[in-house]
Amino acid sequence: MSVAELKKRHIAATATVNALREQLKQKRILLLDTDVAGYARSQGRTPVSFGPTDLVCCRTLQGHTGKVYSLDWTSEKNRIVSASQDGRLIVWNSLTSQKTHAIKLPCAWVMTCAFSPNGQSVACGGLDSICSIFNLNSPNDKDGNLTVSRMLSGHKGYVSSCQYVPDEDTHLITSSGDQTCILWDVTTAQRLSVFGGEFPSGHTADVLSVSINGSNSKMFVSGSCDATARLWDTRIASRAVRTFHGHEGDVSTVKFFPDGYRFGTGSDDGTCRLFDMRTGHQLQVYHQQHDGEVPLVTSIAFSISGRLLFVGYSNGDCYVWDTLMAKVVLNLGSLQNSHEGRITCLGLSADGSALCTGSWDRNLKIWAFGGHRKVI
């Protein structure tokens, strides 16, 4: 077959793919008889109501000398690791605001960090395309720096996000600008599986975020610049389980919903969406009308019950959405003592009692419920 004939086949196949995608889209629209907010209204539900001092900033963690890009809580104790443009990871005691570790990184261009489930190690990655592991208990070198205990090399592009598999200190998943995600064995620094890439069907642009299902750690979801989120089974690297369309811009952040059957996404199109993992339905869109430029969604996190969806935006806002009613119930960005710049990352503590936000203003802030349990 000649190149010209192949090109004709390519054009025809592209047209078929587009037609099938349009058919799928129309069929899904027909199945969307309601959304979560519509169903909740039909049941007579009302939005959560917050007073002006119900959620307050009770700690400001100062110490980074550059923009904060990423943060992660430990799964048990109240420690936080943060990664910054200053080329350092800092481990904080969130109760006392003290810094327990300040790790100077071999590559300053860090984009992501994560705590291991046992809290003994931290992982980070960035423009060096390597995921570096640090053991917090190992001794410092002669310069007083913590040395890298493992380097996970294999990505052909920047490491955008990393997360340890829950309850498995030896396995970690990374996402990358090379359009793939990788499952690693941290002990041997070997790639166990590569999800996506040229041969197996996968994302067709940079992958920006991963989230592993806390209820079923064999499943994880990834978000990409190709405007899709994809669900993966770690046992099947050859293809994504499902692809979720709907966003009109880069999917910059993904997070599983606490029930393990749904996940949320945030995008450069300014919206967040809730998808059902098993059916592929788009159950809800969280979108606020804006005059002028639409702010990008940079980060999302669900509260421990799932009722609240915290969303960080590029304009410094941090909306608290009522997940059920699809209403903004609070804007942390407008509260006293809020960040002075874009919120780049956020995360809930393991017990759900506190939210930590990281920002371009170089600070991290901890927010908690500061109100009364109201009288009936």
Contact flag: residue 102 with other proteins (CB under 8 A)? yes
Contact flag: residue 144 with other proteins (CB under 8 A)? yes
Task: Give the containing element (helix H, strand E) for 39.
Answer: helix 36-42
Contact flag: residue 236 with other proteins (CB under 8 A)? no
Contact flag: residue 104 with other proteins (CB under 8 A)? yes
Please name which of 137, 67, 58, 141 lies closest in space to residue 101, comparing C-alpha atoms. Answer: 137
Q: Which residues face 110 on adjacent strands?
A: 126
- Residue from 207, 208, 324, 346 in contact with other proteins (CB under 8 A): 324
3-class SS of residue 59: strand
Contact flag: residue 156 with other proteins (CB under 8 A)? no
* Nearest distance in Å: CB 141, other proteins: 12
- Residue from 46, 52, 76, 95 in contact with other proteins (CB under 8 A): 95
Contact flag: residue 23 with other proteins (CB under 8 A)? yes
**For the purposes of burial, counting CB atoms within 10 Å of the CB of 224, is it exposed (0-12), middle (13-18) or buried (19 or more)?**
buried
Residue closer to other proteins by CB (options 186, 231) is: 231
Contact flag: residue 38 with other proteins (CB under 8 A)? yes
* Nearest distance in Å: CB 17, other proteins: 5
**For the purposes of burial, counting CB atoms within 10 Å of the CB of 160, is it exposed (0-12), middle (13-18) or buried (19 or more)?**
buried
Q: Per the structure block, which two tokens stand in for 165? A: 């598999």
Contact yes or no for 173/185 (Cβ under 8 A):
no
Contact flag: residue 235 with other proteins (CB under 8 A)? no
Buried/exposed code over 103-126 (b: 16+ C-beta within 10 A; e: otherwise) = bebeeeebbbbbbbbebebbbbbb
- Residue from 46, 52, 53, 118 in contact with other proteins (CB under 8 A): 53
168: left (phi over 0), alpha (psi -120 to 50) or beta: beta
Running DSSP on this structure, what letter comes out for residue 237? -
From 61-69, 151-159, 188-196, 220-228, span contacting other proteins (CB under 8 A):
61-69
From 148-156, 188-196, 251-259, 263-271, span contacting other proteins (CB under 8 A):
251-259
Contact flag: residue 250 with other proteins (CB under 8 A)? no
Contact flag: residue 376 with other proteins (CB under 8 A)? yes
Contact flag: residue 201 with other proteins (CB under 8 A)? yes
Contact flag: residue 190 with other proteins (CB under 8 A)? no
- Residue from 147, 153, 215, 352 in contact with other proteins (CB under 8 A): 352
Q: Which of the residues 258 through 317 are near other proteins (CB under 8 A)?
A: 258-259, 261-262, 274, 276, 279-283, 303-308
Contact flag: residue 355 with other proteins (CB under 8 A)? yes
The Cβ of residue 19 has, within 10 Å, a number of other Cβ atoms equal to 10
Contact flag: residue 228 with other proteins (CB under 8 A)? no
Task: Give the containing element (helix H, strand E) for 163.
Answer: strand 159-164
3-class SS of residue 115: strand
